[in-house]
A and B are shown apart, each in its own frame.
Chain A
Amino acid sequence: MKNIFAARNSGWLFWLILILVSVAFLVVNESSNQPESSLSQTGSVDGHIQDGTTPAPTISEAPKLISENGEPTSSLAVPFSRLYKTAAVNDILVDPRGFVWAATEQGLTSIKEDQMQNFSIEEGSFPSQQAECLAYDGKELWVGTLTGLCIQNDSGRFVRSELSDSLPSQLIWSLAWDGTTIWAGTQNGAAFMKPGSGFQIINEANTNGGLRNNWCQNIARPGTWFVAAHDRGLSIWNINFPASNPELWKNIDHARSVISRPITDIAFDGTRIWLATGRGVLLLTTPVEKFFNEFTPNLVSYSRIHGLPANRVNSLIAHRNSIWAGTDGGLVRIREDRIQLITASSGTAPERVRKLAASGDILWIGSDRGLQFINTAMVD
């Protein structure tokens, strides 16, 4: 070392060390500012719900499959992919062209053939600080943010859509595409739009109370039904009938039930509706095709005592004859009343899952740190 300092012709080496030290310092300092995550939690859901429009609904518990020592009934080890680093993920969408889109707290990220592209307000390629939700209508990608609705223009940049002004609020919490219509859940009501037209608003006022609350945090479109999870519970509307007739809406109220608020995600397995909540997973036992005549909001609950690694469930998806749940304690699969924790045989499984999306056999997992995927064909 002494020789290095003494040698007159070794100034470049000194500078190199100096820069490396500085860079290392910067990296250490920056990483200490990152938000913390990971936790475990306790609690369970049970009891009765009462609904103003339906008789004596109840919540029953799924069969207890947990072992005496509190461990999940079983776990499955599969390889997890490398982490595609992004900001905290709010939504994931795989479009038919093969692009994987992630709505994050720093904007939008696309992945195709291992190439990542970021769209952010800093780069001038995205008009909002964050992106909340995504929908693809077969031609265009729609991005919901907390400041309005965005679409991609011809130059590849995302811009605020003019149609955003026809939404009931610019706080857009969820988007859905049902093959013919775009649906949006906003702070001040829901809305739907067929391509080429403007949004039609659905709210408490124009449904005469059919939609019980305007804050539509999550929406889904199973069969001929529109489902909105809002601040007062769940409102379900048969879209073949006028929304203005409140008698045709089915409602489950939070206030008179033990459904935890908020409902963080909705999944449809082809027959029944599943709800992700802060206190586990709820299964609405009435099949969707029987909603019209035989709607009884009986629910089956799956919580930590049944084998979920955490009660807070952030995302749900129906995929390969199973329900996959992203929780604060990791990824699980619910199949035939069995709950299986998905662990990593290689790679690292995220501690906390924020969002799930599926394409073919691939299940994409969004976390606080980015995107990963597993091949679900390997699970079986």
Chain B
Amino acid sequence: MKLSDFFTPVKAFFARFDIYQLLAVPVLLVILFYSIDFSSNDMQIGVILPLSGEHSQRAENHLNGLTLAARHINGLGGINGRRLNLQIRDTHGQAEKTAEVTRDLIYENSVFALIGGFSPANTRIIQALAEKAQVPFITGICTHYETTASGNRFTFRSITDDRRQFEALSDYALKRFNSRKPALIYDLELYGPDSAQRFIEISNRSGQQVCAAVSYKKGTLNFRRQLETIMAATPDLLVILAPAADSALILRQFREARFARPVIGGNQLAASEFVSLAGVYSESVVTTMPFNPRAGGQRADYFLTEYAETFGQPADADAAMGYEAMMLMALAFKASDLDRNSARNALAALHGWESVAGSGGFDEDGNQVRPAEIAIIKDRQKIPVTMEGLF
């Protein structure tokens, strides 16, 4: 068969069309190509964190956990064939910026869900806008007890809240140190007077009497006034409810002023930032432990190894909480019809799960039911008190 024999019918076929019709085919293909939003097949997840500013280190660790989880999910083929695409936004720790990026993610990027928050104020802004637009919102980093105590339907929290942490701390202080007269120092942004009041109430219930409760304003570097007030009250234990960096500074100044009584605090003291800033002074500090690798078993081992290989540093509680939050979101998406309402319903139905942080579940308010675990810092490592005797 000659080559010309092959082309003859082809020529004859194309001869039936004029030049405009032939040109229309590539034009149609170009139009179709630009019409299809190939990225719309991805599931857009909004991530809102203070990636710059005072709390950037903890936010970065949290983001690393989220990113690693998304990478794993996408590596396994995504959710029903759809990849997770994280839309990451920095709030700079500012309320106005938080509102702006949250609004953009919901209405401009049409995200399926939101993850993030940090300070109670910023978390509440995200929550307010998410609830209004009916977008599922999960925080794995904000522990303020009121976030999930307000009858909101689309808000979930995967980290153990302050209330449970306070109960565990108060109980441990009583049983381990026989504390009857603790003193409290708290910040006005991350915890505030509400949380301080809640701690005092919980302490009172277990027969303890808080002898001094002093606050400080953001940016305080010299805690001499607070120190003098607390020392004058001769407490038998100090409770620090403050951001990690401030907590380290407070601890240093108290120890340098020869305050020798035990020091305990919330999950801020479990952050790697606190241990690195407090240095040797962190020894024997008691903290709550949002992430106990032993509770997570093999999942945690795998996560820790993968995290260290990917980011060149060990994973801390913030990273683990980020990983868990993203996995929960994926779990909900998988069980849903891939829309916001059914994703919300699927999240609300998650009454029990196993994750890198161990067993967990949401209660009817969308709050984590996992009890707070207590750890003691030894040689800059957080040792669960149940295993303290081994060290």
Name A's B-contacting residues (CB within 8 A). Answer: 5-6, 8, 11, 14-15, 18, 21-22, 25-26, 29, 32-39, 41, 43, 45, 87-88, 105-106, 129-130, 146-147, 169-171, 187-188, 215, 217, 231-232, 254-255, 260-262, 277-279, 311-312, 314, 328, 352, 354
Q: Which of A33, A146, A171, A261 contacts B151 (CB 8 A)?
A: A261
Contact B153 A105 (CB under 8 A): no
Query: Is A147 within 8 A of B28, CB to CB?
Result: no
Q: How far is the CB of B362 from chain A (nearest CB, A)?
A: 15
Cα–Cα, bound, A15→B20 (Å): 9
Contact, CB under 8 Å: B24 / A14: yes
Instruction: List B residues 317-352 near A (Cβ within 8 Å).
Output: 339-341, 344
Inter-chain contact B20/A22, CB cutoff 8 Å: no
Instruction: Kindly state whether residue B124 has any CB partner on chain A within 8 Å.
Output: yes
Is chain A's interface secondary structure helix, strand, loop, or mixed overall?
loop
A252 to chain B, nearest CB (A): 15
Which residue of A is nearest B131, CB measured? A278
For residue B111, give the distance in angstroms from its CB to the closest CB of chain A: 9
B380 within 8 A of A: no
10 of the cross-chain contacts (CB-CB < 8 Å) are A5-B16, A11-B18, A14-B21, A29-B35, A36-B134, A39-B344, A105-B103, A171-B125, A231-B146, A262-B131
**Contact (Cβ within 8 A) A11 B21:** yes
**B101-145, CB < 8 A from A:** 103-104, 106-108, 110, 121, 124-125, 128, 131-135
The total of Cβ contacts below 8 Å across the A-B interface reads 117
List, in ascending order, chain B residues with CB within 8 A of A35's CB.
Answer: 106-107, 110, 133, 135, 340
Say yes or no: A231 contacts B124, CB within 8 Å. Answer: yes
Interface size bracket, B side? 35 or more
Structural contact, B24 and A88, CB atoms closer than 8 A? no
C-alpha gap A22/B40 in the complex (Å): 18
B146 touches A146 (CB 8 A): no
Partner of A262, one of B32, B36, B106, B128: B128
Is B391 at the interface (CB under 8 A from chain A)?
no
A278–B148 Cα gap in the complex (Å)?
13
Using Cβ atoms and an 8 Å threshold, which residues of chain A touch B20?
A: 11, 14-15
- Chain B residues positioned under 8 Å from A129 (CB to CB): 100, 103-104, 108
A18-B194 contact given A26-B35, A278-B151, CB 8 Å threshold: no
Residues on A with C-beta less than 8 A from B36 are: 25, 29
Main secondary structure of the interface of B (DSSP, over half): helix
- A25-B35, A29-B36, A105-B103 given; A18·B24 CB < 8 A: yes
Complex: how many Å from CA A328 to CA B134? 10
Identity of the chain A residue whose Cβ is nearest the Cβ of B150 in the assembled complex: A261
Which chain A residues lie closer than 8 Å to B95 at the CB level?
Answer: 169, 171, 187-188
Pairwise interchain contact A279-B340, C-beta atoms closer than 8 A: no
A215 CB to nearest chain B CB (Å): 7
Within 8 A of A (CB), among B134-182: 134-135, 146, 150-153
Chain A CB within 8 A of B1 CB: no
Q: A146-B100, A169-B96, A231-B124 are in contact. Are A260 and B134 (CB under 8 A)?
A: no
A312 with B35: CB separation less than 8 A = no
A8 to B15, CA, bound (A): 11
CA distance A312 to B134 in the complex (A): 11
Chain A residues, Cβ within 8 Å of B32: 22, 25
Q: Mark B181-203 against chain A: 1 for CB-CB distance below 8 A, else 0.
A: 00000000000001000000000
B131 & A87 in contact (Cβ 8 Å cutoff): no
Interchain residue pairs A-B with the least CB separation, the first 10:
A260-B151, A261-B150, A11-B20, A278-B151, A36-B339, A22-B31, A146-B99, A105-B107, A25-B35, A279-B151
**Minimum Cβ distance to chain A for residue B108 (Å):** 8
In the assembled complex, the CB of B35 is this many whole angstroms from the nearest CB of chain A, namely 5
Query: Contacting B27 at CB < 8 Å: which of A18, A33, A130?
Result: A18
Given A25-B35, A231-B124, check contact A34 B99 (CB 8 Å): no
Taking a contact as CB atoms under 8 Å apart, the answer to whether B124 and A171 are in contact is no
* Residues on the B chain within 8 Å of A188, using CB: 95
Tell me whether B256 is interfacial, beta carbon within 8 Å. no
Q: Which residues of B contact A169 (CB under 8 A)?
A: 95-96
- Tell me the complex Cα distance, A215–B125, Å: 10
CB pair A8–B150 under 8 Å, yes or no, is: no
- B17 within 8 A of partner (CB): yes
- B37 interface residue (CB < 8 Å to A): yes
CB distance from A104 to the nearest CB of B (A): 9
- Complex CA distance for A170 and B121, rounded to whole angstroms: 15
Residues B340 and A87 in contact, CB atoms below 8 Å apart: no
**CA of A146 to CA of B94 in the docked complex: distance in angstroms?**
12
A146: B residues at CB distance < 8 A: 96, 99-100, 103
- The closest CB in chain A to the CB of B340 belongs to A36
Quick one: given A169-B96, A262-B128, are A21 and B28 in contact (CB under 8 Å)? Answer: yes
**A5 contacts B100, C-beta separation under 8 Å:** no
- In the bound complex, residues from chain A placing their C-beta under 8 Å from that of B103 are 105, 129-130, 146
| Cα distance A124–B108 in the bound complex, in angstroms | 18
Residue B110 contacts which of A34, A37, A43 (CB distance < 8 angstroms)? A34
Contact: B96 with A147, CB < 8 Å? Answer: yes
Decide if B153 touches A278 in the complex (CB within 8 Å): yes
Are the C-beta atoms of B107 and A255 separated by less than 8 Å?
no
Which one, B37, B125, B151, contacts A43 given CB within 8 A?
B151
Q: List B80-104 residues whose CB lies under 8 Å from chain A.
A: 95-96, 99-100, 103-104
List the B residue with the shortest CB-CB distance to A34.
B110
Given contacts A36-B340, A37-B134, A39-B134, contact A8 B124 (CB under 8 A): no
Complex Cα spacing A15 to B341, Å: 42
A217: B residues at CB distance < 8 A:
128
Q: Flag if A41 contacts B153 (CB, 8 Å).
A: yes
Structural contact, B96 and A170, CB atoms closer than 8 A: yes
Residues of A within 8 A of B104 (CB): 129
Are B194 and A255 interface neighbours, CB within 8 A? Answer: yes
Question: Do B96 and A171 have beta carbons less than 8 Å apart?
Answer: yes
Beyond the given A129-B108, A171-B95, A261-B146, could you list 4 further A-B residue pairs with CB under 8 A, ordered by the A residue number? A22-B32, A29-B35, A37-B341, A170-B96
